[in-house]
């Protein structure tokens, strides 16, 4: 009797897990879109109140926001296309749709990442325009960000030849055996740039005439943001690895 009860409980949990993932993804997507939109609107509002003209970094931030919308729309649609289920148990059409959504999501993620990074670097460049060494640093970061963005978009787009083979295995084609290495490399380089962007304001803070305790508090604030960014980067890379290989981790979880 206890064995049957345990088996029934496990089956119920297996049925509830996909619904859990769907609800979680939809909630996270809506929350992130809402927070990002509010943040951008407040940014524009502050520009208006201070009579500042819109700068090029505002344009890049807006483009990043639009790309993040595209990514979140892919996530929401994916929530209704077998998320949490064994991917091989899904109908072939649903498998292809899920893979296409993931392929599109990769592009939106890379573009959003690039535009937002450019916005941050250009803002730092404008604030530190009177400090010679930082101009060279920000110039190098701009070149690096653009190169990273081009590599990420093109590399992700053509990880399978032809590109359609990623979501349509009925046609002739092949995928690179180095997909995982590419994803890890791209994610690691993005994380390295995140660390540099967080380090720049910390270095500036420690050169200011503030009390040591105040400097420590500000540094800890930046450190918390950095750790959160590292955690997000790890989760994003983990999801990329699990589906881009389609070696399946057996469950379709973006």
Q: Does some domain include residue 11? A: yes
Structure tokens at 100: 């296409």
Q: Does some domain include residue 253? A: no
pLDDT, one tens digit for every residue, the chain (254 residues): 544 444 444 444 445 556 677 788 788 888 888 988 998 898 888 888 877 778 898 999 999 999 999 999 988 888 777 666 665 666 677 778 888 888 998 899 999 999 999 998 998 888 777 666 788 889 999 999 999 999 999 998 998 889 898 888 888 888 888 888 888 899 889 888 888 888 887 787 777 777 777 777 767 766 665 555 554 444 444 444 444 444 333 333 44
Q: Does some domain include residue 250? A: no
Structure tokens at 234: 């790890």
CB burial string 174-198: b at 16+ within 10 A, e below = ebeeebbebbeebbeebbebbeebb
CB burial string 50-75: b at 16+ within 10 A, e below = eeeeeeebbebbbbbbebbbbbbbbb
Residues paired with residue 160 on neighbouring β-strands, in sequence order: 175
Report pLDDT for 82: 65
Concatenated DSSP letters of 22-41: HHHHHHHHHHHHHHHHHHHH
Q: Does some domain include residue 251? A: no
Report pLDDT for 227: 54
Q: Does some domain include residue 252? A: no
Q: Does some domain include residue 12? A: yes
CATH of the domain at 189: 1.20.1070
- CA–CA separation, 121 and 171 (whole Å): 43
Residue found under tokens 């930046």: 222
Q: Does some domain include residue 254? A: no
Q: 187 near 155, Cβ under 8 Å?
A: no
Whole-model pTM? 0.76
Q: Does some domain include residue 228? A: yes
Count of domains observed in the chain: 1
What residue numbers bound the domain in which 13 lies? 2-244
The one-character DSSP state at 48 is H
Concatenated DSSP letters of 227-247: HHHHHHHHHHHHHHHHHHS--
């Amino acid at each position: 009797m206890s064995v049957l009860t345990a088996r029934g409980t496990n089956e119920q949990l297996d049925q509830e897990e996909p619904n859990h993932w769907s609800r979680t993804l939809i909630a996270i997507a809506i929350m992130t879109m809402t927070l990002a939109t509010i943040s951008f609107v407040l940014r524009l509002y502050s520009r208006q109140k201070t009579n500042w003209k819109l700068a090029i970094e505002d344009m890049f931030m807006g483009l990043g926001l639009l790309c993040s919308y595209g990514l979140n729309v892919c996530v929401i649609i994916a929530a209704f296309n077998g998320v949490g289920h064994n991917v091989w148990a899904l109908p072939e059409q649903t498998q292809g749709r899920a893979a296409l959504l993931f392929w599109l999501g990769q592009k939106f993620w890379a573009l959003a990442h690039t535009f937002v990074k450019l916005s941050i670097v250009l803002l730092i460049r404008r604030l530190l325009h009177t400090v010679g060494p930082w101009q060279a640093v920000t110039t190098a970061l701009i070149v690096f960000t653009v190169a990273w963005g081009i590599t990420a978009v093109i590399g992700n787009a053509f990880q399978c030849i032809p590109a359609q083979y990623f979501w349509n295995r009925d046609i002739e084609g092949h995928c690179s055996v180095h997909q995982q290495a590419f994803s890890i490399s791209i994610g690691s380089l993005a994380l390295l740039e995140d660390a540099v962007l967080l380090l720049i304001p910390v270095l500036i803070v420690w050169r200011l005439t503030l009390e040591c305790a105040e400097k420590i508090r500000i540094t800890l604030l930046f450190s918390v943001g950095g750790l959160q960014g590292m955690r997000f980067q790890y989760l994003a890379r983990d999801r990329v690895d699990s589906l881009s290989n389609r070696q399946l981790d057996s469950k379709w979880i973006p």
